[in-house]
Amino acid sequence: MHTLIIVNDPPYGTERLYNGLRLAHALIKQETDVTVFLMGDAVSGAKSGQKTPDGYYNAERMLKRVTNKGQVLLCGTCLDARGISDEEVVKGAQRSTMDELAETTVRADKVLIF
């Protein structure tokens, strides 16, 4: 089974990215094929070097866990609009396109949007 999780919201200020990544982690434990696609303000969650207060979730660390056994795709247009270069993103996350999102959507058994 392949699950696609699409996240649009910023990494901090709402909990949509946090909850989407928590679900991705749980699905990976179930040995499900998982792709997380970040678009809009969510792409800033893939920026490396994040420093969050102790006891607060860190989107960068959570995304790294997904890249170990799943796939993290980032909207290239959204990265460019926010001035985030490929060198600044979490290792294992990949710049992507709407065409690749469309292909991944067609292949997915389930699509969840946060």
In order of 26, 32, 46, 77, 104, the CA distances from 109 in angstroms are 17, 11, 25, 26, 10
Domain with 51, as residue range(s), is 2-113
Interval 50-78 mean pLDDT: 96
Residues 38 and 79: their CA atoms lie apart, in Å, by 10
pLDDT, tens digit, 9 for 90 and up, residues 6-31: 999 999 999 999 999 999 999 999 99
The pLDDT value recorded for residue 29 is 96
In terms of phi and psi (left: phi > 0; alpha: psi -120 to 50; beta: otherwise), the region of 112 is: beta
**Stretch 82-104: mean pLDDT:** 97
What's the structural domain count of the chain?
A: 1
Structure-token pair, residue 65: 């866990």
Q: What is the pLDDT of residue 62?
A: 97
Q: What is the CATH number of the domain that holds 41?
A: 3.40.1260.10
Give the per-residue pLDDT at 41.
Answer: 97
Contact between 61 and 29 (Cβ < 8 Å): no
Q: What is the pTM of this model?
A: 0.95
In the chain, what percentage of residues exceed pLDDT 70?
A: 100
